Structure 1
Amino acid sequence: MTTRIVIGDDHPIVQAALQSALSSVLPELEIIPCQSLDEILAAVPARVDDIDLILLDLGMPGVQGFAALFILLAQFPTIPVAIISARQDAATIRRAIAYGASGYIPKSLSLPVMAEAITRILVGEIWMPPNIGGRGSVQGEDVELAARAASLSAQQLRILAMIVDGKLNKQIAGELGIAEQTVKGHVSTILRKLGVGSRTQAAVLAERLAFGSARTIAGPE
């Protein structure tokens, strides 16, 4: 049986190295390379029932940080998503797992260890480096906030990320190719689901979940 893995990473060297490492442990392997979140969202829908795993670099072009993770989990709830990242601090790793990632693989690991981690994720394990601590290490309010964010649709999550970036409804509508009135409707739903009364409050909550710039991903230890 062929194993199909989407690798979302904008570095061709990383793509090639992962494919080489995985080919040694998964003889029947198909890699679907994507260099941005938009490419993943375009490539997956037609093959959603055939894809076994999405590997996501938190710093890819497009919507960065944990926003991309939330969007993929909302859009493709049946496909596990694992993080592969240059970041390896414990806070970021714990938060990724608490927010729904099926694993967290630092790029500093050797290729054989990365391949082993991916094979474990493929059989249903939640994998992260040893001695990190689990879901309970994340602040309870952040886990509760993540649950509220998870109730948003993929489109609403993208709009929320754009709100964090300070974009107006007209700008959001233009970038997403939808009517401004549709954006207004989504914004109202976002505020209601997050339990806030303004775009500013929504942005503050979203920033706690590290939406937007990758430099805001890690919180305090």
Structure 2
Amino acid sequence: MAKVLIADDHPVFRRALGDIVGQLLPSTGLAVVEAADRTQLFEIVENDDVDLILLDLCMPGMTGLPELVAIRNIAPATPVVIISAIDDTTIVNQAINCGAAGFIPKSSSMEDLAAALKQVLDGGVYIPGSDEAREKRGPAEADALTPRQLAVLGLLSAGKSNKEIARALSISDLTVKVHITTIFRKLGVATRTQAIVAFQRERAQVSNN
């Protein structure tokens, strides 16, 4: 069963997000934990194991990106997707560079929110103006991948499915999907085949230097 932390100070929006994620993961089951402010957020992050964090940067007590960095330091293997009323391109790019697995504006309709979350859970990347943002950032190097992401990529290269990767690494299917999303973002690709080719190319370049 996947466990998702929804951190937002608006209870109606938290419930709506929970309903959307529940509809996207009907077969795996879902446990939702909620945080309405910074204190609750870090109590959960520090004491509970979650598979995915949906994070509002503007909850009470929050300063924004520093909390994202702190979460990544406490739980580096837990993917964080920002869902925020702020959709400034600079903030979006900074959030991605700080380790966010995606950025979804609250200004999106519920249908668009659902489509964006589905894209992330299916191993894609949803970032406002993603093509332009990727061009500004440039492709990340393969060396930036974490050990767990390298393990996922290695199993992808061996032709393993998401379920097989989850069993091999003792993680949930949801965690595998978000790891793949992050791998795609870091390598600047959109498919599994492209990720494998890009990784092999990066490693070959490193070996030749």
TM-score greater than 0.5 by the shorter chain = yes
- Distance apart, 1:135 and its partner CA: 5.1
* CA 99–136 in structure 1, closer or farther in 2 if over 3 Å, else same: farther
Query: Does structure 2 retain, via aligned residues, the 8 Å contact 1:58–1:64?
Result: yes
User: In 1, distance between residues paired with 2:128 and 2:92?
Assistant: 9
* CA 73–131 in structure 1, closer or farther in 2 if over 3 Å, else same: closer
Query: Does structure 2 retain, via aligned residues, the 8 Å contact 1:83–1:103?
Result: yes
> What is the one-letter code of the residue matched to 2:30?
L
Query: Does structure 2 retain, via aligned residues, the 8 Å contact 1:3–1:30?
Result: yes
Query: Does structure 2 retain, via aligned residues, the 8 Å contact 1:10–1:60?
Result: yes
Q: How does 1:22-171 map to 2 (within 5 A)?
A: 22-27=21-26, 28-48=29-49, 51-131=50-130, 133-134=132-133, 137=136
Between the aligned residues of both structures, percent identity stands at 35
Query: Does structure 2 retain, via aligned residues, the 8 Å contact 1:102–1:126?
Result: yes
> What is the one-letter code of the residue matched to 2:38?
L
- Distance apart, 1:37 and its partner CA: 2.1
Query: Does structure 1 retain, via aligned residues, the 8 Å contact 2:45–2:71?
Result: no
Query: Does structure 2 retain, via aligned residues, the 8 Å contact 1:56–1:83?
Result: yes
4+ runs deviating over 6 angstroms: none
Q: TM-score, normalised by structure 1?
A: 0.56
| Superimposed CA distance per residue, residues 133-187 of structure 1 (whole angstroms, 9 cap, x where no aligned partner) | 235526xxxxxxxxxxxxxxxxxxxxxxxxxxxxxxxxxxxxxxxxxxxxxxxxx
Unaligned runs of 5+ in 1: 139-221
> What is the one-letter code of the residue matched to 1:117?
A
| Superimposed CA distance per residue, residues 57-101 of structure 1 (whole angstroms, 9 cap, x where no aligned partner) | 110112321111111011110101111101112222122112211
Secondary structure in 2 matching 1:4? strand
Structure with higher RCO (Cα < 8 A, 6+ apart): 1
Query: Does structure 2 retain, via aligned residues, the 8 Å contact 1:90–1:132?
Result: no
Larger fraction in helix: 2
Q: Give the number of the structure whose alpha-carbon radius of gyration is greater.
A: 1
> What is the one-letter code of the residue matched to 1:33?
E
CA RMSD across the alignment: 2.4
User: In 1, distance between residues paired with 2:92 and 2:131?
Assistant: 8
Query: Does structure 2 retain, via aligned residues, the 8 Å contact 1:102–1:125?
Result: no
Unaligned runs of 5+ in 2: 138-209
Secondary structure in 1 matching 2:68? helix
- Distance apart, 1:126 and its partner CA: 3.3
Q: TM-score, normalised by structure 2?
A: 0.59
Query: Does structure 1 retain, via aligned residues, the 8 Å contact 2:4–2:32?
Result: yes
Query: Does structure 1 retain, via aligned residues, the 8 Å contact 2:38–2:62?
Result: yes
* CA 136–32 in structure 1, closer or farther in 2 if over 3 Å, else same: same
